Amino acid sequence: MLALRDHLLAAQVTLVVIEATSDYWKPFYYLLADELNVILVNARQVKNLPGRKTDVPAAAWPAQLGAHGLVRPSFVPPQPVRELRDLTRARTQMTRERGQIVQRLEKLLEDTGIKLAAVASDIMGVSGRAMLEALVNGERDPQTLAEMAKRKLRNKIPELTDALTGRFRAHHAFLTRLHLDHYDQLTDAVGQLDQRIEEAMAPFRGALDLLDTIPGINQATAEVIIAETGGDMTRFTTARHLASWAGVCPGHHESAGRTKNTKVRPGNPYLNPIEDAA
């Protein structure tokens, strides 16, 4: 990569075109963009332009399109926004992993015949967590476990007693302990990310407060929107362009009065399922 940069500089190259393929473009783009005019282009756009021949080398075609101004550069946010993206995406991923751990715990309890999730809506709440900890520590009496319920869940003690009757053994206690510890580690990591994101959001505080006023959008959701869009709406010609880029704009293929395809085009995979960030 360093040799490539030196070669391009020595040849006095005026424009470098890079196709956005997975994450492979990133090290090249960040290295070359410091000293060269580099644009990142959508690989689908390059492929769909007419005129390409099968014998044209893969690198020559994007170079020709770039030289004639036939490709639009993709949005590459500045470094502060890229760092904010890394933080919000990490938080989203860890939040999803926590949900997966809860699902594993529910499956493990099903194996023991314990139906805690059928009575308690959140098995990782205060009451559910106390019961799980007691099971791990050796408590097996359903009535004793049910009495650990707090607040409104105490109205369901008879149901809890039945639900907590099972065959929870040392094997299940070992796995439950692993899942609970992993859940706590992720919770701690999410807390650290929340703090770091709050610091990184300082330059975007005005936009964050405005987004937070929209019904259905909380602070975590607003942080993801800013991180993915960069907070600068001038990059998008209209609101429709933004919706299309985000992948929330349905397809429109109509012929002879019949709608044939309304599939949503692929878009930003982090901005679309945004509820996972909360």
Which of 148-152, 173-177, 200-204 has the largest mean confidence? 173-177
pLDDT greater than 90 at residue 52? no
Q: How confident is the model at residue 51 (pLDDT cuts 50, 70, 90)?
A: low
For residue 66, give the nearest of 39, 90, 85 by alpha carbon.
39
Q: How far is CA 128 from CA 44, 124, 272, 276, in A?
A: 49, 5, 32, 22
Task: Give pLDDT, residue 174.
Answer: 97
- Domain definitions of the chain by residue range: 2-76, 80-200, 202-277
The amino acid sitting at 82 is R
- pLDDT higher at 88 or 231: 88
**pLDDT tens profile 68-101:** 788 888 878 888 898 999 999 999 999 999 999 9
Average pLDDT of the segment spanning 207-221: 89
The per-residue pLDDT of the chain, averaged, comes to 86
Q: How far is CA 275 from CA 34, 95, 217, in A?
A: 36, 11, 9
Average pLDDT of the segment spanning 43-55: 67
pLDDT greater than 50 at residue 277? no
Task: Give pLDDT, residue 76.
Answer: 83
**pLDDT tens profile 116-159:** 999 998 999 999 999 999 999 999 999 999 999 998 899 999 99
Average pLDDT of the segment spanning 173-190: 96
Task: Give pLDDT, residue 104.
Answer: 95
The pTM of this model reads 0.79
For residue 160, give the nearest of 133, 124, 121 by alpha carbon.
121
Task: Give pLDDT, residue 241.
Answer: 83
Q: How confident is the model at residue 56 (pLDDT cuts 50, 70, 90)?
A: low
